[in-house]
Amino acid sequence: MTERSFEILDVSLRDGSHAMKHSFTEEQVRATAKGLDAAGVNYFEVSHGDGLGGSSLQYGFSKVDELKLIEAAADECENAKVSVLLIPGIGIKEDLQEAVKVGAKMVRVATHVTEADVAAQHIALGRELGLKTVGFLMMAHMAPVEKVVEQAKLFESYGAEIVYVTDSAGYMLPNDVTERISALKQSIGCEIGFHAHNNLSMAMANTIAAVEAGATYIDGSLRALGAGAGNTQTEVMAAVLERLGYNTGIDLYKLMDVANDVVAKFMQRPQEITGSGLIMGYSGVYSSFLLHTQAAAQKFGVDERDILVELGRMKAVGGQEDLIYDVAQQFALKKQKVEV
């Protein structure tokens, strides 16, 4: 077997927050964290779906304060380390400092793929606090390879130890992933990560492409619990990588147990590729828009697919959730005019 050359980072307790409408309880987090730790997963993420400071009217309020959840998760870990997501403009430096006090050991500072420059002080703070510090380029399909490389170099210059290519919309195909990861491998000295969404059923194929191109950190979520159609399914990913000859360092049975006996029991719905998820991937729309779009479509009596296609045409990005309701209202007004 090939020696372990990458880390599997589980995002069930962060990306899954979107699918759970930010309603995780301390008991759910503790049970999941304990299971991931026992299975040999070295890093897993705990935050509001939109990162530290995300609990708000715009993004959705958390049922339980994320600091309590981070502390609970860290308390269950013997070997694993808790990561947090921070999006500059949503989370602030004080949020990160508080997260460290309750047990966070890694921070992933996330920006739109063309806006790495807004993260310089957050990356620097992560290093000062002794965290494993990551630059997370969201919606990476929206920029040409040369721009992705440019922005990755910025993250590296600020002190990022890992730079992620993030397929936030589940839009990429394997060749897109190979092209971006390979370009970063040739252009930067720090490690490279990849985060997938499954809106076009490409998450596993894209993750394999990332590993083969040189990614050393790859994300997954148990039972694919995540925004949109979910992420690469962690337990399936571990099995596939073992089949491919990689030594993942993970106990597959224990990983399956936490997926099936813990996470599956608290999921609000199965993760599947619905018509809306498909349109998100096809149009390149941010995966966390899904539940907001469904709510807007119901409120205004319009087709959620129309909203998503229009958002894709507008090239909407994370942080522009208010556009969802604007677009829904515009379709509702057009519908009224036609009916009159």
Q: Which pLDDT value is given to residue 101? A: 98
Q: What is the pTM of this model?
A: 0.92
Q: Where are the domains of the chain?
A: 7-266, 275-339
Is 15 a known ligand-binding residue?
A: yes
Q: What's the CA gap between 288 and 22, in Å, rounded? A: 12
Q: What's the CA gap between 132 and 323, in Å, rounded? A: 34
Q: Which pLDDT value is given to residue 223? A: 98
Q: Which pLDDT value is given to residue 159? A: 98
Q: What share of the chain is helix, strand, coil (3-state, %, to 5)?
A: 50, 15, 35
Is 122 a known ligand-binding residue?
A: no
Is 287 a known ligand-binding residue?
A: no
- In the chain the first and final C-alpha atoms are separated, in Å, by 68
Q: Based on the residue annotation, tell me whether 112 is a catalytic residue of this protein.
A: no
Q: Which CATH superfamily is domain 7-266 in?
A: Aldolase class I (3.20.20.70)
Three-point CA angle 241, 38, 224, nearest 5°: 50
- Cβ neighbours around 149 below 10 Å, total: 18
Is 168 a known ligand-binding residue?
A: yes
Q: Which pLDDT value is given to residue 340? A: 54
Q: Which of 18, 22, 48, 292 is catalytic?
A: 18
Q: What's the CA gap between 276 and 307, in Å, rounded? A: 10
Closest of 151, 85, 82 to residue 122, by C-alpha: 85
Q: What's the CA gap between 112 and 87, in Å, rounded? A: 9
CATH of domain 275-339: 1.10.8.60
Q: How far is CA 282 from its chain centroid?
A: 18
Residue type, 70: I
Q: What's the CA gap between 30 and 254, in Å, rounded? A: 15
Chunked in runs of 10, what are the mean pLDDT values of the chain (340 residues)? Answer: 76 97 97 98 97 91 97 98 97 97 98 96 98 97 97 98 97 98 98 98 98 97 97 98 93 98 96 90 86 88 89 81 88 76
Q: Which pLDDT value is given to residue 308? A: 87
